Amino acid sequence: MSGLQITPSAQYPFGCRIEGVNIQAGVDDQTAQHISDALNQYLVVCVSGEPYDSEQLVNWAKKIGPLEINISKAFQNAAYPQVMTLSNVLIDGKPQGLADAGQEWHTDMSYNLISGRATILHAHQVPVKDGRPLGDTAFRSMYAAYEALPSALREKLDSLEAVHDFENLWTHMLARPGSMRKPFTDAQRKEKPPVVHPVVLRHPWTGRKCIYVNRGLTTKILGMPEQESRDLLDFLFTHQEQARFEYRHQWRVGDSLMWDNCASIHLATGGYSADQPRVMIRTQILGDETRYRKENASLGARNFNTV
């Protein structure tokens, strides 16, 4: 596939837009490798184009890596369960997609035993008001957040581990007014028990250090009294969410936004109403155990026994 153009963000310290990829026509291996390389360099990659379907999303996403089937089992494509619909649209009072996804700072798939590689979110409909798209997605660079810490604190964090729990984020979303989520089930809890990761992850693809805790999923730091753990996590959450580490994506219909789930956190900013449709399809690219364990040989990557 020729004519690939990568333009770094002029407004933010990371992020890029890629032009010249025709996903409907198919993405060849070389183009997929260029996109993967751009992900490692820029953390957030937007591939411009036109809307396409779940089959086409799976066909190009799996060239980046194996895909997750989300444990929520909600709003999944019948033929391609790796794809979930995110939407605020109701038909006869029934939701057509997950409406509250991402409404707290978090990292996708940090609840997995091996940290997730990336997420791809593809826009079919984008709400607009007075000519401006609504529903931006905000990101923070965890490379930059780590590097901005005092050296003594970085040294301390390098040897610490933290617990990540899918149920924690689910419970927060369930408590929001108007939530249509069902309570977290015993089967889901068994499928996704709490896991342990390094507080500072060495990125499996780049080897760079990044903060790997997030408000949505990280519940405690191991080996610390409860209050000390809580205080340190609260400090890290406030630190990592600062606007100086930001990239903010303003959506266009047809955008395919892919982001790194090892070295970034993100938030769906909302700001649109039920009569302003937002429809997107999503898939998530799993991590690589060999790469993870090579870079983080002595820390993390195990289930946490809560008993």
Q: What is the pLDDT of residues 225-282, one digit of tens each?
A: 999 999 999 999 999 999 999 999 999 999 999 999 999 999 999 999 988 999 999 9
C-alpha to C-alpha distance for 218 and 197, rounded to whole angstroms: 10
Kindly tell me if the per-residue pLDDT of 133 is higher than 80. yes
CA distances (Å), origin 76, targets 6, 17, 84, 89, 181: 31, 28, 4, 15, 14
Q: What is the pLDDT of residues 140-197, one digit of tens each?
A: 999 999 999 999 999 999 999 999 998 887 777 665 666 666 777 888 788 889 999 9
Residue with tokens 């590689």: 117
Q: Could you tell me the pTM of the whole model?
A: 0.94
Burial of 148 (0-12, 13-18, 19+ CB in 10 A): middle
Of 12, 294, 10, 303, nearest in space to 137 by CA: 12
Kindly tell me if the per-residue pLDDT of 13 is higher than 80. yes
Going from N- to C-terminal start, the domains of the chain cover 74-115+123-251+260-303
C-alpha to C-alpha distance for 269 and 137, rounded to whole angstroms: 6
C-alpha to C-alpha distance for 64 and 33, rounded to whole angstroms: 7
Q: What is the pLDDT of residues 78-95, one digit of tens each?
A: 999 999 999 999 998 898
Q: What is the pLDDT of residues 23-63, one digit of tens each?
A: 999 999 999 999 999 999 999 999 999 999 999 999 999 99
Kindly tell me if the per-residue pLDDT of 136 is higher than 90. yes
Strand partners, 18: 6, 47
Return the exposure string of 14-30: e unless at least 16 CB atoms fall within 10 Å of the residue's CB, then b: bbbbbeebebeeebeee
C-alpha to C-alpha distance for 233 and 211, rounded to whole angstroms: 11
Residue with tokens 């890029």: 16
> DSSP secondary-structure letter at 76?
B
Fold that domain 74-115+123-251+260-303 belongs to in CATH: Double-stranded beta-helix (3.60.130)
Strand partners, 268: 137
DSSP 112-146: SSS---EEEEEEEE--EETTEE---EEEEEHHHHH
Q: Contact at 8 Å (CB) between 105 and 212?
A: no
